[in-house]
Amino acid sequence: MDLEEQYLRAAEAIASADALLIGAGAGMGVDSGLPDFRGPEGFWKAYPPFRGRHFSEMSTPHWFRSDPQLAWGFFGHRLNLYRSAIPHPGFQILQKWAKKCPDGCFVFTSNVDGQFQKSGFSTEDVVECHGSIHHLQCSSPCHKGIWEAGDQVFEINLETIRTTSPLPKCPQCGTVARPNILMFGDPHWIATRSDRQDKRYLDWLKRTSSRRLVIVELGAGLAIPTVRYECQTQPGTLIRINPREAEVGRNGISLPVGALEALRAIDTLLEARRAEA
**Cβ distance 132 to 181 under 8 Å?**
yes
Share of the chain above pLDDT 90, in %: 92
User: How far separated are the first and last CA of the chain, in Å rounded?
Assistant: 26
| Closest-CA residue to 219 (of 35, 30, 8, 83) | 30
Helix/strand/coil percentages in the chain, nearest 5: 40, 20, 40
Model confidence pLDDT, tens digit, residues 182-236:
999 999 999 999 999 999 999 999 999 999 999 999 999 998 899 999 999 999 9
The answer, yes or no, to whether residue 41 has pLDDT greater than 90, is: no
- Can you tell me the mean pLDDT for 11-29? 97
Average of per-residue pLDDT across 6-16: 97
Looking at every residue in the chain, the average pLDDT score rounds to 96
Predicted pLDDT of residue 250: 83
β-pairing verdict for 237-241 and 177-181: unpaired
Do the beta carbons of residue 22 and residue 128 sit within 8 Å?
Answer: no
pLDDT band at 162 (very low <50, low <70, confident <90, very high): very high
How does pLDDT run across 109-161, given as a tens digit for each residue?
A: 999 999 999 999 999 999 999 999 999 999 999 999 999 999 989 999 999 99
Tally of helices (H runs) and strands (E runs) in the chain = 10, 11
- Residue 211's nearest CA partner among 122, 128, 105, 125 is 105
Percent pLDDT > 70 in the chain is 100
Rounded to two decimals, the pTM is 0.96
Hey, what domains does the chain have and what are their CATH numbers? 3-276 (3.40.50.1220)
User: Can you give the length of the chain in residues?
Assistant: 277
Check residues 277 and 80 and name the one with the higher pLDDT.
Answer: 80
Do the Cβ atoms of 85 and 115 come closer than 8 Å? yes
Q: What pLDDT score does 275 carry?
A: 94
- pLDDT band with cut points at 50, 70 and 90 for residue 39: confident
**What are φ and ψ of residue 271, in 5° steps?**
-65, -35
pLDDT mean over 90-104: 98
- pLDDT for residue 277: 73
Q: What is the largest CA-CA distance in the chain?
A: 64
**pLDDT value, residue 136:** 98
